[in-house]
Structure 1
Amino acid sequence: MKHVLFATTALIATASVAAAEVKFSGYGRFGIGYQEDRSTDSNVSDTILVSRFRLNIDGDVETDTGVRFSARVRLQADEDSDTGEANSAGLNGARFSVIFGGLRVDAGNVSGAFDNSDLYFGNEPGLEEFLGQYSGVDYDFLEYSSTGAGSNAVFFQYAVGDLAFGASYDTDAINGADRWDVSATYIFDNYSATVIYGQTEAVAGGDKQDLIVLALGAELGDFSGTLFVGRDGDTPVNDFGEETDGTVYGASLAYSLGAATTITAAYGDGSAEGDTQQYGVGAIYDLGNGATLRGAVGREKVGRAGEAQTIADFGVQFNF
């Protein structure tokens, strides 16, 4: 799942009114990626080198009253999957946070309720996590940007016991299409459930767009899995001019084969003729000390008019 962080403390400074720290965390990954008929450009190979370096820089301070203030920026460099060439590397937009007890408020380059949900993403096979139970979704929700400025938005979360509520608001002063979402998540024993709803206001006389999702999760011994169902409305047509409104659904699983090997799988689709279908299986082999071998193979088809393509990758990831 997408939101696991591995942090190490690089500097700790103390003062009379607060305890402050700067932390560095992230990962590196590299390997090969394959996409059948990747490009109509004969100079672009179906098989390319894939890579990513990600460094999170977090600054935190906690006051005497227990209020924590935090800020994050990210350095990232990776490849352009369309051309196989390296993307420009750079620093992204900052995210600022205030945390007190079960309340968290983020401002700036933030994730919305969908992007903050592990249950929404489920288990994603592949070194690049290129397969997902959410593949049929066509709604553009608020996401944290790793390489750009991101949206200047706010996100709220409040957790009490096993219940958590989230909400985000993103105002678009240029297009006048404000975007918001809300979520409720409940964890009971080894099971979890979340409901998320998001809406984008109409632009230039068009219809408002929305998405509602229900996702369920379970962890039973060596097995973990998720179920995903939702509906998106008034989303744009795909590149073939096919409608993308309708029901979306999917599932994912992970199964641990002993201490070192985990098998993952995911399936996603939708009822609309323009939805994207994905399915495939992957594996993770633990090399120890945060290093893993990862890979997957699957199929993807965009809309009823598209042709199914085989996609695959393999490589190493190391967390730090």
Structure 2
Amino acid sequence: MKNILFASTALVAFGGAAAADVALSGRAEMGIFKNNAAFQAAKGNPVTEVGAQFFTDIDVTFTMSGETDNGLTFGASVDLDEGGNQAATKNNSDDGGATIFISGGFGTVTMGDTDGALDWALTDAGNVGNPGSLADDETTHAGYNGAYLDGGNDGQILRWDYTSGAFGVAVSLEDDNGSNAVNTGIGYAIGFKYALDLSGTTVNFGLGHQRAADGAPGTATDAKATGVSVSATFANGLAAGIEYTDMTNSVFDKHIGVGLGYTTGAFSIHANYGKYDGVVAANDQKGYGLAAAYDLGGGAVVHFGYGSGKVGAGVSQKSMSLGLGLSF
């Protein structure tokens, strides 16, 4: 994605002070999308919103960065597509598509709309070699697990992470913030990851544990998740990954996801499958997603996406999109 530099010397208050940079990037999408009544019902939308429709979306992100006199780096980003809907700049307790970080020899501390430590550590099978689609069809099916327990409360996460060579560790917190009838305190997560380079093949390992602040410790609503993932990117353009998550005090017992991707020249293709095993059969969820893209160059890409999923013995939820993604 190209960045337009707005100010390369936005802040020089005193002699020796480092400059701060503000950059603007954006993405526009146009095409068509289609889904069935079961998909709309699952999203809580009117079931009349089905059939082929025009698709348009514009996303603008401001990225700011700077450096202190003693070498600490800091920055922030605001996603106006999300920020406009969630009032990122108006609500002190809502991240609203914004993140802020400071980094140094101690690692990086990030707060806002960011991944928890478990999500940070694991490689999501749905993202392995995934070129993306306009409506994210391949990652919105019923079997997809992309955020674990993140966002179960106010969605504002505080994470510390540190990387040394191939090894990384992270710890995160998420406040209940009154999102439940009784404030149950702080949710937490810890994650570890390791990247192994094997002469052109990169293998990534991830491991982590998370507790949501959904219920008092030891109660039936004290949701927890422990996950592991392995993914590999090969020199021939192939990518593959698998993730497994064990859950307690949830409507699910476990989740497994697998993903494959392949890129050759300007063409990329991806497929993923995911399945939740419910505590009872009615809670079982499964689905698969497909994505394909052709890079036209200069930031223009043709995208296709398809997703199909099912909850229990219900009707399959299906969605599809096709069009152009334009990066600026």
Task: Output the TM-score relative to the length of structure 2.
Answer: 0.79
Aligned with 1:296 (options 299, 305, 326):
305
**Alignment partners' CA distance in 2, 1:89 and 1:115:** 22
Is 1:74 matched with 2:79? Answer: yes
SS of the aligned residue for 2:123 comes to: helix
Structure 1 letter corresponding to 2:249: D
Measured after TM superposition, the shift of residue 21 of structure 1 is: 0.6
Structure 2 letter corresponding to 1:268: G
Aligned with 1:62 (options 56, 63, 67):
67
Aligned to 1:179: 187
Using the aligned pairs only, state the percent identity: 20
The alpha-carbon distance between structure 1 residues 162 and 77, as it changes in their structure 2 partners (threshold 3 A), is closer
Is 1:253 matched with 2:260? Answer: yes
Task: Output the TM-score relative to the length of structure 1.
Answer: 0.81
Aligned to 2:231: 217
Is 1:230 matched with 2:245? Answer: yes
Structure 2 letter corresponding to 1:35: N
Aligned to 1:196: 208
Measured after TM superposition, the shift of residue 44 of structure 1 is: 2.4
The alpha-carbon distance between structure 1 residues 118 and 197, as it changes in their structure 2 partners (threshold 3 A), is closer
**Alignment partners' CA distance in 2, 1:89 and 1:9:** 26
SS of the aligned residue for 1:18 comes to: coil
Gaps of 5+ in 2: 89-95
Is 1:279 matched with 2:285? Answer: no
The structure in which a higher percent of residues are helix is: 2
SS of the aligned residue for 2:26 comes to: strand
The alpha-carbon distance between structure 1 residues 180 and 18, as it changes in their structure 2 partners (threshold 3 A), is same
Measured after TM superposition, the shift of residue 97 of structure 1 is: 0.9
For 1:12-161, list aligned pairs within 5 A. Answer: 12-13=8-9, 15=12, 16=15, 17-37=17-37, 38-39=39-40, 41=46, 43-76=48-81, 91=88, 92=96, 94-101=98-105, 103-116=107-120, 119-120=123-124, 121-123=126-128, 124=130, 126-132=133-139, 135=143, 137=145, 141-143=149-151, 151-161=155-165
**Alignment partners' CA distance in 2, 1:54 and 1:28:** 6
Q: Provide Cα deviations, 1:53-98, integer angstroms capped at 9, x if missing partner.
A: 21111221112321012122220079xxxxxxxx958653542211
The alpha-carbon distance between structure 1 residues 104 and 8, as it changes in their structure 2 partners (threshold 3 A), is farther
Name the structure, 1 or 2, with higher relative contact order (CA <8 Å, separation 6+).
Answer: 2
SS of the aligned residue for 2:19 comes to: strand
**Alignment partners' CA distance in 2, 1:161 and 1:170:** 28
Gaps of 5+ in 1: 79-86, 236-243
Measured after TM superposition, the shift of residue 179 of structure 1 is: 1.1
The alpha-carbon distance between structure 1 residues 298 and 93, as it changes in their structure 2 partners (threshold 3 A), is closer
**Number of positions where the alignment pairs a residue of Structure 1 with one of Structure 2:** 294
- Cα contact 1:109–1:144 (8 A) shared by 2: no
**Alignment partners' CA distance in 2, 1:39 and 1:251:** 25
Structure 1 letter corresponding to 2:275: D
Is 1:310 matched with 2:304? Answer: no
The alpha-carbon distance between structure 1 residues 139 and 77, as it changes in their structure 2 partners (threshold 3 A), is closer
Aligned to 1:163: 167
- Cα contact 2:40–2:47 (8 A) shared by 1: yes
**Alignment partners' CA distance in 1, 2:152 and 2:105:** 23
The alpha-carbon distance between structure 1 residues 20 and 199, as it changes in their structure 2 partners (threshold 3 A), is same
**Alignment partners' CA distance in 2, 1:180 and 1:53:** 34
